[in-house]
A and B are shown apart, each in its own frame.
Chain A
Amino acid sequence: MSENAPDLIGPILGWRAWCVRETEEGWRLYSIHYGEPWPVRNDLTAWCYRSRYLSTANNISHNRHIAPTKDCFCGIYGANEFGQVRQYVIASYLSCEMVPPDYVHRVVGQVSLWGRVVQCSQGYRAGNAYPARLWLPVRRPDGKSIDVDAIAFGLADYGIPIELLDAGTRYEIVHQIGYGREAA
């Protein structure tokens, strides 16, 4: 086998949750933890926040590296089962979230992962990612009204299947998708 041959033909699918925000270009997906915008019709490429910021700002020893590596926490995350992302389907002030303050809604879905990948016991961290399928709850958990049709229409720019979910609360979302549902 060639040294450059891939270990796996993919992509790998994982579960994620995203924030949704209206921008000048339209409705867009953002990472919940780092507020990273997900580009339309282009893959998101991972980079290591720790090696970019911590090593210089806080004088912490952290080697610069290509993301992801096994010894770090970097990479674009995808979980094996939907139940692992249930805590992110609505806002939680207990988790370390850095969402854009003006986000309007959250969606859940499956993400394609490829390139350099760290396989973990319950999911993956990847170097390249693009959303594969989205489930869009038609209500917000706090009861605030949203124009779900406009959001769905805007997210169609990503060119992937979008399914409306007759749900708003975490319980409803988990109940409809299925706690142990695998990404496949």
Chain B
Amino acid sequence: MEIGEPERQITVEPVEDPVPREEPVEAPAEPEREEIPA
């Protein structure tokens, strides 16, 4: 792709992440166990 002559090198920091990354799936909470009397 023709993008012309290089002019300068810069550092670009995104305000927000441009990647819609996978949100971590939270592990389902373990159901409370009923205490069974012995």
Footprint of B on A, CB under 8 Å? Answer: 6-12, 16, 33, 41-43, 68-71, 77-80, 84-85, 88, 112-126, 130, 132, 158-160
Contact = CB atoms under 8 A, between A and B. Distances in A.
A117 B20 contact: no
Given A16-B1, A85-B1, A160-B20, A7 B7 contact: no
B13 A9 contact: yes
Contacts, number: 100
A179 to B, nearest CB: 14
Contacts of A42: 19, 21
A19 to B, nearest CB: 14
B19 A10 contact: no
A126 to B, nearest CB: 7
B1 A6 contact: no
Given A42-B21, A130-B18, A159-B20, A10 B3 contact: no
B4 to A, nearest CB: 3
Given A6-B11, A7-B12, A117-B10, A112 B18 contact: yes
Contacts of A158: 20
A84 B2 contact: yes
A6 B13 contact: yes
Contacts of A70: 6, 8-9
Interface of B: 1-15, 18-22
Contacts of B11: 6-8, 115-117
Contact of B18 (A9, A71, A114, A118): A114
A123 B8 CA distance: 12
Contact of B12 (A8, A41, A43, A85): A8
B3 A77 contact: yes
B9 to A, nearest CB: 5
B7 A113 contact: no
